[in-house]
Amino acid sequence: MRRRLTITTEIIAPYRIPVFNALAEHPEIDLHVIFLAETDPTQRQWLVYKNEIRFSYEVLPSWRRRMRKQSLLVNWGVTAALRRAAPEVIVCGGYNYVASWRALSWARDNEIPFLLWVESTAKDQRYNSIRIEALKRKFIQQCTAFIVPGRASLEYVREYCVSAQQIFVAPNAVDTHFFARHSEKVQHDPDTHRTILDVPARFFLFAGRLVPEKGIFDLLDAYAMLSPALRHQVALVLVGDGPSRAEISRRAAAIKCGLVRIAAFAQREQLASYYALAETFVFPTHTDPWGLVVNEAAACGLPIIASDAAGCVPDLLEDHRNGRVIPAHDIAQLAMAMEELASDAQLRAVMGQRSRDRVHQYSPQACAAGVAEGVLSWEAVLHD
């Protein structure tokens, strides 16, 4: 007998579609997804790949307002949507929406197991507020069980006095097959793709939002610390958009004997081309619950330099094996790691292959299997 599962989540993110497709194929899961919005134009420029969706879903009517760093998203029709779906289990993708609290209330009133997907980590500085922390604790205390993407989030949830039996790991995933396949295609004709993207023969790559909390200014300073000879050989390419773009351009122009190229936001096909042509991926974030760009870069066979603030690091990156882990905000160590990898082609090749081998464990199928395990094990959790 298939278990009726309803997932509530914010937007139709391209990296979630393959996971939900895999979950919908599970023989014991009858999946329906309730999206609170199609996308968030204030934060992302992702295309919505509706033609790839192979699961039952609906998008609720919504109203959104951006206030400083917070996004207020209000929906209507949550209760009616849940009533129509008649779930036996609910998985909720976050606590910070009004719709999430309505779904929790509906689940409690109808005695439906309620599992919370938690990506936060102890180093996540996005919501450093006593009031928000109190709301989060209240929400967590009412949940049946928890699904986390990796070790950092698991340890974070345990800090709320949650038992290990209540936590299920669904490895955070992108479509690794897509990125690996596209990368191999580009590498068969790199010169043509370099011309299309207008990138140099050698470059470090950053991809993400152009905001200070991604460590983007640390990266510029670290690149400026490299020797002029090395900067002359290896450029820095930044792919993305955000409010810091103008300031980044100003600071980049002051760096001599090198090249900093600021490319526009790239959709997944073009982004995979950047990964395929880069030598090393650099992700010096100050705070990030995971960092799926690291999954993408690893799937394309890149060595990774990432800060220890990225939630994915304990799972995807092993220092001196498939890249370098540096302390967040440590510009000197970041520069040393960049110089080390830029100076050793053999080391990059070995680390890149190890990245590719490691990330295959973080596939959409593996993530779906982790979610399914939590959904199908809730009875054991309740009676533990």
Q: 185-207: per-residue pLDDT in tens?
A: 999 999 999 999 999 999 999 99
pLDDT in the model for residue 134: 87
In the chain, domain spans = 3-173+363-382, 176-359
Given pLDDT bands bounded at 50, 70 and 90, which one contains residue 246? very high
Over the stretch 70-92, which tens digit does the pLDDT of each residue have?
678 999 999 999 999 999 999 99
Amino acid at 247: E
- Burial of residue 340 (CB within 10 Å: 0-12, 13-18, 19+) is middle
- CA proximity to 139, closest of 126, 164, 165, 120: 120
For the stretch 162-190, pLDDT in tens is 999 999 999 999 999 999 999 999 999 99
Quick: pLDDT tens for 102-132. Answer: 999 999 999 999 999 999 998 876 656 778 8
Q: How confident is the model at residue 256 (pLDDT cuts 50, 70, 90)?
A: confident
User: Residue 173 has what pLDDT?
Assistant: 97
- The two three-digit tokens of residue 351, written as one number: 């680390």
CATH number 3.30.1490.190 given to 176-359? no
pLDDT of residue 383: 55
pLDDT at 66 over 80: no
287 residue type, one letter: T
Mean pLDDT along residues 326-342: 98
Residues 64, 310: Cα–Cα separation, whole Å:
27
Q: pLDDT-based confidence at 69, cuts 50/70/90? A: low
Place domain 3-173+363-382 in its CATH homologous superfamily: Glycogen Phosphorylase B; (3.40.50.2000)
Edge-to-edge strands of the sheet including 203-207? 260-263, 235-239, 203-207, 280-283, 304-307, 323-326
Average pLDDT of span 222-235: 97
Identify the pLDDT of residue 1: 80
Q: Tell me whether domains 3-173+363-382 and 176-359 share a fold.
A: yes
Q: What is the pLDDT of residue 128?
A: 62
d(CA 350, CA 315): 18
Q: What is the tens place of the pLDDT at every residue in 338-375? A: 999 999 999 999 999 999 999 999 999 999 999 999 99
**Residue 250 and residue 34: Cα distance in Å, rounded?**
43
Q: Is the pLDDT of residue 148 over 70?
A: yes
